[in-house]
Amino acid sequence: MPDTIMSKEPSSNLESAMQMLIKTFHKYSGKEGDKYTLSRGELKELLLEELGSYLGSSKDNEAVEKVMNDLDANNDGEVDFTEFIILMGALTVACNDFFLEYKTDDKPKEGESAEKKD
């Protein structure tokens, strides 16, 4: 039962990360309309407040509209938790790709004073 899972203290970082995803979603989804889905406005708020650095310079309505349209798989104008988790999955994959690229290309870049590991 979700209730018993959520009432337990997370025992690992991964469990707390999962709880954070759920809590963050509901923090915004409960603001207007359906409590369990994100409206366009709620999604925008979540993206700007929680993922501002990922959106980078594209903090405009067009970018939010694009994300909304990409995420709203069933075209009901709302992003439900399943649709939201797909975005988080895609972003995490992108972060992992970046991490792997950085790891394999381990030599310090020119002009950057990267700390040397022994």
Residues engaged in binding Ca ion (CB under 5 A) = 29, 33-34, 72, 74, 76, 78
Q: How far is the CB of 67 from Ca ion (least distance, A)?
A: 12
Query: Min. distance of Cβ 77 from Ca ion in angstroms?
Result: 7
Choice between 70 and 76, CB closer to Ca ion: 76
Q: List strand residue ranges (DSSP E) for 1-118, in order.
A: 37-38, 79-80
Question: Which amino acid, 92?
Answer: T
Q: How far is the CB of 28 from Ca ion (least distance, A)?
A: 8
Which one-letter amino acid corresponds to residue 79? V
Which tokens go with 17? 């990360």
Nearest-10 crossing angle of helices 40-50, 61-71: 110
Q: Are 19 and 30 in contact (CB under 8 A)?
A: no
29 vs 47 by CB, closer to Ca ion: 29
Identity of residue 34 = D
Kindly tell me which of 29 and 46 has the beta carbon lying closer to Ca ion. Answer: 29
Nearer to Ca ion, 48 or 100 (CB): 48
Instruction: Provide the minimum distance between the beta carbon of 23 and Ca ion in the complex, in angstroms, as a whole number.
Output: 15
